[in-house]
Amino acid sequence: MTVTIAREGSIAVVTVDNPPVNALSQALRQALVEAVAELDADGAVKAVVLICAGRTFIAGADVGEFGKPPQPPHLPDVVARIEGASKPWVAAIHGSALGGGLEVALGCAYRVAVASASLGLPEVRLGIIPGAGGTVRLPRLIGPAAAVDLVTGGSPVGAKKAEGLELVDAVIDGDLRAGAIAFAGDVAAKPLPQPISARAVPAVEDSFWESAEKAVAAKAKREAAPLRALASIRNASRTDFAAGMAFERETFLELRGSAQAAALRHVFFAERAAPRPPELSGVTPRAIRSAAVIGGGTMGAGIAAALRDAGLPVVLVERDGAAVERGMANIRAIYDGAVKRGRLVQAVSDERMAGVAGGDDYGLLADTDLVIEAVFEDLAVKRAVFERLSGICRPDAVLATNTSYLDPAAISEGIGHPERFLGLHFFSPAHVMKLLEIVPTGTTAPDVLATGFALARLLGKIPVRAGICDGFIGNRILKVTRAQAERLLLSGAAPSTVDAAMRAFGLPMGPFEAQDLGGLDIAAFQRRAARERGETPFAPVADRLCAAGRLGQKTGGGWYDYMPGERTPTPSEAVAAIIAEEAAGRPQRAWDEAAIADAIVLPMVNEAARILEERVALRAADVDLVKIHGYGFPRWRGGPMHYAEARGLCEVVAVLDRLCADGLAEPPCAGLRRAVEAGGFSLLAG
Ligand code: 3H9
């Protein structure tokens, strides 16, 4: 970390260089305080530019320090020191001014930014609120309504929008350093502006706070930080600056030590580590400049859109002209929808479509860098596709199968250059869902595996490496979720009780509602395949529903009944009768929400421990990312593995033992028991 001071005439330029993102470590905070003192004492300096080296302005407090006791100088004091400087400081922003970085900029007399910069207070995403004046200075500068949006939502805004909010004083075209120095030269001659801390908060109607509270609570669900941030802004709007700061700091410190903040920090670091697994460090991925998708159904169209959104030219290949047209229409529907919802302007949508070439001739793929197959889940059909591709594509082209359940090694059997083959499991809708399971076969070359990770980075997805097994990581655990949900039904819980309990746990939908939405036939198809392999999947009620044609919303009934054209689930007497028949002779009990969540989530953890033992997943945090980004597991609980560790693995095993004794779960696996002894999953996975 270095903070250097250069002089350009009467302007001092303070450059912060603390790679990778100029986070506000203790050493940086100390150096900033010293820089203020030095420049205050230097009579030749009339104004100061604060600028950063590297890819970004200060991106916030150092999140890695959050688990430790705060060390002085504390950030609120650093910001106050800059604000109290005897000459104007000008924050010169490129990249991101986030969290504590924006708070430092709010301490400066002025803020200028390049047009590509973004500014924001994302603290609520880490389960905390701004802790260095963000909730107290921001409403004084841009008014409470805009401050509430920025702080409780956590999304950054671009420099142009920030200028409109008067958060930024000028957008600099061209060289930021030169522009900021010129700006500082202009303001050096003027009297210092009133510090933000001395300004009043613009008044709002009383009713504003009530409606803001309702809106924030509805969005935050069970996350604590957004409402606490709102409370801090509201408090700062009716008290003096010092009282506002004291309230903010107290809330910040309390939340910093909370379970939600620990879980969200865990996810923050897991997400950042995911694209760069240590086992691939030093491996150079193959270049991907063009891509193709085989199959234009829902999945193929979504994958094609994801590739186009990342700027790659895409070829869509289908088996005949009519199928090509249908596939192209599916992609167009994605872009039309984006325009309708205001997410894309028409010109961009047109440009994305123009970059997709459709055809039924595999010859179009002779020079394509990456081909992703997304045809029907049938081994013979998929094999036939790769047989053709193998004869046509360049030997160094990467060939990928998008399969959810089939064995990628079996799909690639017999192809030429099998080292270029891997599984890429996208989640539907593929242009939206963040998760990408990357599945190497025994022959996948390291640089091809690295290409999978590079592709995920390019597409803005979270990559997780998964080993070959039925369902990989995510769907294998999903099978346990469903089986446990059925066990609950047979021991006294109704589908609506189970769904309500899982929503209360934090999932967006319960397991039965979710099956009705997606359709019960896919899982039934997989159970049939499993039985053919000699396995005995447990789904006595689901099997009977499928046999009765109750496949979910699309057939007007599944686990629930649906009125024609409606999506609201109504408890079904027919289903209750089937459950009663299947449950006959089994012990019944009363289930509360916590017990239901335990009976579903802890067996998922047990299965995940098995998955780690088998090295189908390499890290417990990878399982957490899969469940959060592919299956709606609440982020603020940190994923199932973090949840289990935070709860205590001894207790997890004890609950599983009790469930097992009652015939309601599998026994804790050896890996889980070893994790208890080791004090966590990391040793198990390592
Ligand atoms: C805060 O400021 C609280 C204050 O209000 C109160 C204080 C009293 N700390 O994302 P990338 C690491 S809360 C430590 O891949 P990009 C990251 O782990 C904070 N480390 O880069 C990774 O490490 P590695 C509010 C951090 O270019 C490397 O930097 N601020 C931090 O795609 C590169 O990260 C935020 O929440 C950090 N704050 O994106 C900002 N940030 O190389 C969070 C990053 O070892 N950060 N790292 O894997 C971001 O949103 C993105 O990192 C950013 C750059 C957009 C800045």
pLDDT tier at 62, thresholds 50, 70, 90: very high
DSSP bridge partners of 440: 422
Q: Please give the average per-residue pLDDT across 347-369, as a whole number.
A: 96
**Residues near ligand 1 with C-beta < 6 Å?**
20-21, 23, 55-56, 59-64, 75, 96, 98-100, 103, 122-123, 126, 130-132, 134, 269, 272-273
Q: Please give the average per-residue pLDDT across 288-309, as a whole number.
A: 97
DSSP bridge partners of 583: none
Instruction: Give the pLDDT confidence of 320-332 residue by residue, as tens digits.
Output: 999 999 999 999 9
From atom 15 of ligand 1, which residue's Cα is the shortest distance away?
Answer: 272
pLDDT at 627 over 90: yes
- Residue 283 exposure: Cα atoms within 13 Å on the Cβ side: 19
Residue 272 CA to ligand 1 center (angstroms) comes to: 9
Residue 235 Cα distances to 209, 217, 245, 277, angstroms: 11, 17, 10, 44
Instruction: Give the pLDDT confidence of 447-472 residue by residue, as tens digits.
Output: 999 999 999 999 999 999 999 998 99
End-to-end CA distance of the chain: give it in Å, rounded. Answer: 31
Tokens for 653? 């095993």
Predicted confidence at residue 418, as pLDDT, reads 95
Size of the chain, expressed as the number of residues it contains: 686
Rounded Cα–Cα distance for residues 209 and 365 (Å): 58
pLDDT at 55 over 60: yes
Domains of the chain: 3-257 (3.90.226.10), 288-465 (3.40.50.720), 474-678 (1.10.1040.50)
Predicted confidence at residue 575, as pLDDT, reads 97
Total-model pTM = 0.93
Predicted confidence at residue 197, as pLDDT, reads 97
Instruction: Give the pLDDT confidence of 242-285 residue by residue, as tens digits.
Output: 999 999 999 999 999 999 999 999 999 999 999 999 999 999 99
Tokens for 178? 């030169």
Predicted confidence at residue 560, as pLDDT, reads 98
pLDDT tier at 685, thresholds 50, 70, 90: low
Instruction: Give the pLDDT confidence of 530-543 residue by residue, as tens digits.
Output: 899 899 999 999 99
Rounded Cα–Cα distance for residues 83 and 197 (Å): 8
**To test ligand 1's pocket by mutation, which of 1, 16, 21 has the most ligand atoms within 8 angstroms of CB?**
21
Instruction: Give the pLDDT confidence of 129-176 residue by residue, as tens digits.
Output: 999 999 999 999 999 999 999 999 999 999 999 999 999 999 999 999
383-414 burial by CB neighbour count: b if 16+ within 10 A, else e? bebbeebbebbeeebbbbbbbbbbbbbebbee
- Continuous segment of H or E residues that includes residue 7: strand 2-8
Whether 253 contacts 629, CB under 8 Å: no
Ligand 1 atom nearest to CA at 276: 48
DSSP letter, residue 202: P
The CA dihedral of 178, 39, 89, 246, to the nearest 10 degrees, is 150
Ligand 1 atom nearest to CA at 62: 9
pLDDT at 584 over 70: yes
From atom 30 of ligand 1, which residue's Cα is the shortest distance away?
Answer: 60
Q: What angle, rounded to 10 degrees, do the helices at 620-631 and 593-613 form? A: 130
Tokens for 469? 């097994």
Binning the chain into helix, strand and coil, the percentages to the nearest 5 are: 55, 10, 35
Instruction: Give the pLDDT confidence of 237-251 residue by residue, as tens digits.
Output: 999 999 999 999 999
pLDDT tier at 684, thresholds 50, 70, 90: low
Whether 408 contacts 244, CB under 8 Å: no
Instruction: Give the pLDDT confidence of 476-506 residue by residue, as tens digits.
Output: 999 999 999 999 999 999 999 999 999 999 9
Residue 586 CA to ligand 1 center (angstroms) comes to: 52
Instruction: Give the pLDDT confidence of 18-54 residue by residue, as tens digits.
Output: 999 999 999 999 999 999 999 999 999 999 999 999 9
Active site residues: 103, 123
Predicted confidence at residue 510, as pLDDT, reads 97
Q: Please give the average per-residue pLDDT across 421-445, as a whole number.
A: 96
Residue 512 Cα distances to 77, 355, 373, 503, angstroms: 52, 40, 30, 11
pLDDT tier at 178, thresholds 50, 70, 90: very high
Ligand 1 atom nearest to CA at 129: 5
Residue 140 CA to ligand 1 center (angstroms) comes to: 26
Rounded Cα–Cα distance for residues 676 and 538 (Å): 28
Rounded Cα–Cα distance for residues 173 and 116 (Å): 10
Ligand 1 atom nearest to CA at 131: 6
**Torsion sign, CA atoms 513, 517, 519, 522:** negative
DSSP bridge partners of 4: 15
Q: Which residue's entry shows tokens 């603290």?
A: 123
Nearest to 287 by CA among 364, 352, 365, 370: 370
Q: Please give the average per-residue pLDDT across 638-654, as a whole number.
A: 97
Ligand 1 atom nearest to CA at 56: 56
From atom 11 of ligand 1, which residue's Cα is the shortest distance away?
Answer: 272
Nearest to 415 by CA among 392, 439, 449, 440: 392
From atom 46 of ligand 1, which residue's Cα is the shortest distance away?
Answer: 59
Predicted confidence at residue 206, as pLDDT, reads 85
Question: By three-state DSSP, how is residue 589 classified?
Answer: coil
**What does residue 350 show for φ and ψ, rounded to 5 degrees?**
-60, -40
pLDDT tier at 565, thresholds 50, 70, 90: confident
Rounded Cα–Cα distance for residues 238 and 241 (Å): 9
Q: Please give the average per-residue pLDDT across 652-664, as a whole number.
A: 97
Average pLDDT score, the chain: 96
Predicted confidence at residue 456, as pLDDT, reads 98
Residue 231 CA to ligand 1 center (angstroms) comes to: 25
Instruction: Give the pLDDT confidence of 94-131 residue by residue, as tens digits.
Output: 999 999 999 999 999 999 999 999 999 999 999 999 99
Rounded Cα–Cα distance for residues 221 and 603 (Å): 25
